[in-house]
Amino acid sequence: MAIEATEAPTFTSSSQSASHSSQSRHFFVAVDRLQFKMETFVDLLRVAGRRPCLPMVVCCSSRDELDAVCSAVSNLPYISLSSLYSDLAVAERTLILENFRHLTMIWNQKQTALSGDDSEIAEKEQKSHIVVVTDACLPLPGESPISAPVLINYELPMKKETYNRRMATCLSADGIIINMVVGGEVVTLKSIEESRGLVIAEMPINISEIL
Residue 10 located in a structural domain: no
Q: Which of 74, 66, 95, 89 is nearest to 153 (CA)?
A: 66
> Cα(121)–Cα(52) distance, rounded to whole angstroms?
10
Q: What is the CATH number of the domain that holds 141?
A: 3.40.50.300
| Contact status, residue 205 vs residue 3, Cβ threshold 8 Å | yes
* pLDDT recorded at residue 21: 54
CB 200 within 8 A of CB 26: yes
Residue 95 belongs to some domain of the structure: yes
The pLDDT of residue 16 is: 34
Number of structural domains found in the chain: 1
Q: Is position 49 within any domain?
A: yes
Q: Which of 107-121, 153-167, 180-194 shows the lowest mean pLDDT across its residues?
A: 107-121
pLDDT tens for each residue of 80-92: 999 999 899 999 9
Residue 12 lies in a domain: no
- Judge whether 75 lies within some domain: yes
Express each pLDDT in 169-182 by its tens digit: 999 999 999 999 99
C-beta neighbour count of 139 within 10 angstroms: 19
Is pLDDT larger for residue 206 or for residue 197?
A: 197
149 is a domain residue: yes
DSSP code per residue over 89-114 = -HHHHHHHHHHHHHHHHHHHHHHH-S
Mean pLDDT over 22-43 rounds to 91
Residue 75, helix vs strand vs coil: coil
Distances, alpha carbon 66 to alpha carbons 34, 51, 63, 202, in Å: 15, 23, 5, 24
The answer to the question of residue 13 being in a domain is no
Residue 42: which domain range?
A: 20-111+123-209
Report residue 117's pLDDT band, with 50, 70 and 90 as the boundaries.
Answer: low
| Residue 107 maps to a domain | yes
